[in-house]
Amino acid sequence: MSDNELPFLESINLQGYDLKIDLYLKKDYSDISVASEELPALIEWVNTLVQVYTEEKLIKKQEIKEIEARAYNRLEADPNFTGKKTDTNLTRQTVLQEDVMKAHRRFARISGWTARLINLQIALQSKLDLVRSTESTRRKVYTDDPPDSPS
């Protein structure tokens, strides 16, 4: 890769669709009509996914609380539990339970994907804004009379 070449952006699979991020973010939209057809639809699709992932993230957060409560109660009722059954000690031991650790990992993954989709949404919107700005500048350059021309 040369010093000026951008790294390849891997595609991501979302809901069975292989989104070629590299294509949309690096594409040279010389015609605003193509960009205005592709990018807003893609932005809205990503927005829908952000909503789905945000809802799932909130669900996972609630699941963590439920799993932690069940783990706490399980430890508190366990006659073979070694150590003091104080609230502090039970809370510390709850975090080490396998089901609690799995729930936290699921929450971390969904949080990561939510953040990535939000950032992708921003990148796509920025690309659309840049294309619009370039088109606007191009029109101004080609339609304005030179400053010294007689009117």
Per-residue pLDDT tens over the stretch 42-82: 999 999 999 999 999 999 999 999 999 999 999 999 999 98
For residues 23-37, give the mean pLDDT: 89
Domain holding 94, by residue range, is 12-130
Q: CB–CB of 83/65 below 8 Å? A: no
Residue 2 lies in a domain: no
β-bridge mates for residue 19, sequence order: 12
Residue 123 lies in a domain: yes
Residue 68 lies in a domain: yes
Q: Domain count of the chain?
A: 1
Residue 137 lies in a domain: no
Burial annotation 26-46 (CB, 10 A radius, 16+ → b, else e): eeebeebeebeebbeebbebb
Per-residue pLDDT tens over the stretch 71-125: 999 999 999 998 899 999 999 999 999 999 999 999 999 999 999 999 999 999 9
CA distances in angstroms from 113 to 40, 49, 126, listed in the order given: 21, 10, 20
Residue 81 lies in a domain: yes
Residue 126 lies in a domain: yes
Structure pTM? Answer: 0.80
Residue 122 lies in a domain: yes
